[in-house]
Structure 1
Amino acid sequence: MTHRPIRGRRAALALAAALPVAACGAQADRLKEVGRPPSLSAIENPTASPGYRPVQMPMPQMEPVSYAPNSLWQSGARTFFKDQRARSIGDILTVKVRISDQAEIENTTERQRTSSDSLGVQGVIGTQLLKILPDGTSADALVSSNGDMSARGTGTVNRAEDVTTDVAAVVTQRLPNGNLVIEGRQEVRINFEVRELIVAGVVRPEDIAADNTIDSAKIAEARISYGGRGQISDVQQPRVGQQVLDILLPF
């Protein structure tokens, strides 16, 4: 019976010893940047990132290209004259991020249930039971049960988000049907805080405006991330030990 508390103390000591080791690498990197502003990320090829995977989507059947004699028009061409809009891998276009989201949700749930059951035996069986049961027992109410349950829940969501900015994106892939896969990253450092903006998705060349811009609402499979890192973001995050305990502790 005395082994369980000892095992519990050993597990707690092992967890306490593992937390500094797990955070050692992150803390060492932070110690190197004491008194220095956060460093910007190097410009890299997005397709060479470890987590990058080419986009694969259902494509329509390709139509063979045919040429008409004495004609400047090519079947399958999207434009008659060449313009400066992005169309090939490596081209750059500007994404106008316009996010204005507002949601108000309020739910109230109330549930209540009351039950009452009783069991009695009469006749010959009831008479025989009364002979063996304690005095004062009634055959009409040998078993009785009562139950009462009530539950009430209330939930409210009030969210408002507004992001307005422009970011340049690079065409990283051209799909067989002509759609373009784009990805753009932007980092802005203000004092000791770095703001990051990431935009990725699939766009149609027809949706690209004449000034080589496209609205974020016209991006399919859009992935837009806006956040930051630095001293302010670090203060707003719980400590590593607290995050681990929040995951492991069941209460």
Structure 2
Amino acid sequence: MKASFKLLCAVALLGCQRLEDVGKAPDFTPVETSSEYFAMTQGSELPEFTPSQEGAEASLWSGSRGSLLGDRRAGLAGDIMTVVIEINDKAEISNSTGRSRSGSEQMGVTSMFGIPQRLDAKLPEGASMADAYNTSSSSSYSGDGSVQRNEKLTLRVAATILERLPNGILRIQGSQEVRVNFEVRELIVTGFVRPEDISRQNEITYDKIAGARISYGGRGQITDVQQPRLGQQVADVILPF
């Protein structure tokens, strides 16, 4: 009884929290608490620009990041790059299995020194040793299965380098939120990339991100309507049928 009472109290509290959001647009996630903000404020800092460096960087052929032809690709903690997500996957799997088996067996004694005829006279009417026993069996099995998946997603999102690992690999994370009326669309991308895979346009495609985690969803009135109620979710977990 105590456990049931605690469960009901928890459900009631969650319901009260949902009532507080009635008539309000969903809030954005604070940027100041994100890992991207921490990397950009606490990441590696570039050396200060001094007059002596200004004279040394006057050449057009300098490879520094501030020159005309310099490499401006992201490479330090806090730098920003663009992640291009163009997923167009299609998978089709079809399996078919069939099996059959049949068997029969028959035995009888038509003549053996006249013994079957003598036995037939003592057997019930219609019975005969000429057909002692007759058996047959058969079985069959068939199964079919198919899977069809088609997913297409085209997105672009800015990601921040969180840290540079000892082997030079970059750990990135990008998030984006767009609110339209009372619905917030959320996009999150995380993973690990090689600096040499970043293009001259400071972009990287999703298929070059190791351990990529891409989340595309939303929260708000439409998403809330599509989800089952709290009581139904609790009942689905507890009820054994």
Partner Cα distance (1:97, 1:20) in 2? 43
CA contact (8 A) 1:118 1:141 kept: no
CA contact (8 A) 2:73 2:198 kept: yes
- Return the letter of the residue paired with 1:30: R
Residue 41 of structure 1, CA deviation:
1.3
Point out where structure 1 has 5 or more consecutive residues left out of the alignment. Answer: 1-9, 48-78
Task: Report the CA distance shift for 1:241/1:210 in structure 2 as closer, same or farther (over 3 A).
Answer: same
Equivalent position of 2:225 in the other structure: 235
Work out the number of aligned pairs and report it. Answer: 201
Q: Is 1:193 aligned to 2:183, yes or no? A: yes
Q: Is 1:224 aligned to 2:214, yes or no? A: yes
Partner Cα distance (1:249, 1:121) in 2? 60
Task: Report the CA distance shift for 1:42/1:111 in structure 2 as closer, same or farther (over 3 A).
Answer: same
Q: Secondary structure at the match of 1:23?
A: helix
Q: Is 1:37 aligned to 2:28, yes or no? A: no
CA contact (8 A) 2:164 2:170 kept: yes
Matches within 5 A, 1:12-161: 20-21=8-9, 23-43=11-31, 44-46=33-35, 81-82=64-65, 83-103=71-91, 105=92, 107=94, 109-118=96-105, 135=124, 141-142=132-133, 144=135, 146-161=137-152
Residue 147 of structure 1, CA deviation:
3.4
Residue 154 of structure 1, CA deviation:
4.0
CA contact (8 A) 1:85 1:210 kept: yes
Partner Cα distance (2:133, 2:232) in 1? 55
- Return the letter of the residue paired with 1:146: S
- In angstroms, what is the RMSD of aligned CA positions? 3.8
Partner Cα distance (1:98, 1:177) in 2? 28
Partner Cα distance (2:98, 2:10) in 1? 46
- Return the letter of the residue paired with 2:80: I
Point out where structure 2 has 5 or more consecutive residues left out of the alignment. Answer: 37-61, 66-70
CA contact (8 A) 1:19 1:241 kept: no
Partner Cα distance (1:137, 1:248) in 2? 62
Question: Residues 51-87 of structure 1, C-alpha deviation per residue, up to 9 Å, x if partnerless?
Answer: xxxxxxxxxxxxxxxxxxxxxxxxxxxx953443222
Q: Is 1:207 aligned to 2:197, yes or no? A: yes
Matches within 5 A, 1:164-203: 164-203=154-193
TM-score relative to the length of structure 1:
0.64
Percent identical residues: 44
Residue 199 of structure 1, CA deviation:
0.5
Residue 186 of structure 1, CA deviation:
1.0
- Say which is worse superposed, 79-88 or 135-144, in terms of deviation: 135-144
Partner Cα distance (1:137, 1:183) in 2? 87
The higher radius of gyration belongs to 2
Equivalent position of 2:40 in the other structure: none
Task: Report the CA distance shift for 1:32/1:138 in structure 2 as closer, same or farther (over 3 A).
Answer: farther
Task: Report the CA distance shift for 1:204/1:28 in structure 2 as closer, same or farther (over 3 A).
Answer: same
